[in-house]
Chain A
């Protein structure tokens, strides 16, 4: 679909906006609707739109498969790390109050941090799903072509 001018222009216009919106609902999630899960999915949707227009290879150059794996694990680890930080600083697991002096600021920091972890994991996993399903088609075609010989 790279040759279709209309699609390309609109995608070029939309993808940055979708990514910006994803970041907005990620970091503004405690004031307005949104949060890590939604932000991750919206961010992955922008990447998938890019992959649909420009092809999977170009999209994998932007965010390689290895980076998707690493990010998926890092998100969960960030969540656990924030939880353990509460233990280290003298609270309970996933207790945000010890993080900062002011209790409200501590809660908000903790919530933003864990939501960021969730968002990273969700985005990376949605991209992984798409990568593997899209690549499977190519593998099947290659296998069939190999069969025909």
Chain B
């Protein structure tokens, strides 16, 4: 529920910022589909978590070291929103100036996504297809197979 409200609010924020494409995506995916999928998974999952045994110090060390590296590297990033940042001076001006002359399309986002960067978008489509196949592969396994082995211990809660 909170995720859905958060997504709806950020969709409104994107709409206020004139980013209609992102707002549409956020409203449809964040507030709509992913909430439904979360609820669907919650009905599948058990109500209680098994207590974790012991503490994984190696994982903690990896997380701390990686986080420290990232924070250190963040100091070298250019200031947020500066006009001469690489992101502002690389290809973005070309897209802004030439999209209408090249394509005759007013929506620059569509032009960049499907025109200039169409191979990226093809990769994206393949990623979505792969995600779908992954879900199918994971959930096609019949649920009884694991339980049959541990049938004597019936007190275990549903997995």
Contacts and interface: CB of A to CB of B under 8 A. Distances in A.
B114 to A, nearest CB: 4
A84 to B, nearest CB: 11
B41 interface: yes
Contact of B128 (A33, A122, A132, A146): A122
A25 interface: yes
A38 B118 contact: no
B106 A31 contact: yes
Interface stretch (B24-32, B65-73, B74-82, B86-94): B24-32
Contact of A147 (B21, B24, B32, B151): B151
B44 A125 contact: no
Contacts of A136: 44, 139, 143
B64 interface: no
Given A107-B102, A121-B129, A122-B128, A128 B28 contact: no
A9 B40 CA distance: 24
A38 B124 contact: no
Contacts of A99: none
Given A45-B33, A108-B103, A139 B142 contact: yes
Contacts of B106: 30-31
Nearest to A41: B28
Interface in A118-149: 118, 121-122, 124-126, 128-130, 132-137, 139-140, 143-144, 146-147
B110 interface: yes
A73 B129 contact: yes
B20 A33 contact: yes
Contacts of B37: 129-130, 133
A75 B125 CA distance: 8
A98 interface: no
A114 to B, nearest CB: 5
A12 interface: no
A33 B24 contact: yes
B133 to A, nearest CB: 8
Given A128-B132, A132-B139, A118 B124 contact: yes
8 contacts: A25-B24, A79-B122, A94-B122, A107-B104, A110-B118, A132-B135, A135-B139, A136-B139
Given A80-B122, A129-B135, 19 more contacts: A29-B110, A31-B106, A33-B107, A35-B21, A38-B24, A41-B28, A41-B33, A48-B33, A72-B132, A103-B102, A104-B104, A111-B103, A111-B105, A114-B118, A115-B110, A115-B113, A130-B36, A133-B139, A143-B143
